Amino acid sequence: MLLMLRESVKCRLWIAMDRWYLCKIFFAFLELNQFDWVTKAKRNTALFQKEIEPLTRRERYVPLTPIMLIREGFKPLTRQATVGLASIAIPDIYLKQPYTLTNRKGKQVTKQRYVQIAAIVAMRLKEDEASSNAEQLDDESPATYKGAYLIISNRHVAPGSFADLC
């Protein structure tokens, strides 16, 4: 169905997914077919932050959990919430995505690469407040902290450069 939609429409299309659809193979399919995606991060979503080592200048990817990112952005978010803003972008966040290649022996091998994503800490929506009392604390539940949650997307544009999103 998505491929039929892609054939009839040439502009940028977004897929807003429930957190249950968070599947890296599905993400790869969407990106291969020029779809953009956005979803809430689950508690067990494996995220990484790129850091440059000061002495060697080498890149390294530090594993993070969504809760760690929400806590990092929560204090600035609450300061800005009084001004009317309800989200904070966290830079240099990556997600591991699988890709397939052929090795020297001709076998298909699946490897992982780090793909940059957008990570945004946002305050809880009013319609979500009623369901927060019945939340479970398993890996499939959303990552939340004091009413804030993490939204992730494959579009990691810099602030002020939203002209290409239309």
Nearest C-alpha neighbor of 159 from the set 85, 81, 96: 85
CB of 88 within 8 A of CB of 150? no
**pTM of this prediction?**
0.70
Q: What is the pLDDT of residues 147-157, one digit of tens each?
A: 777 888 887 66
**Radius of gyration for the alpha carbons in the chain, expressed in angstroms and rounded:** 18
pLDDT of residue 122: 82
pLDDT of residue 155: 78
Q: What is the pLDDT of residues 43-94, one digit of tens each?
A: 888 899 999 998 999 999 999 998 888 888 877 777 665 555 567 788 889 9
Phi, psi of 127 (to 5 degrees): -70, -20
User: How many angstroms separate the CA atoms of 141 and 117, rounded?
Assistant: 21
CB of 54 within 8 A of CB of 128? no
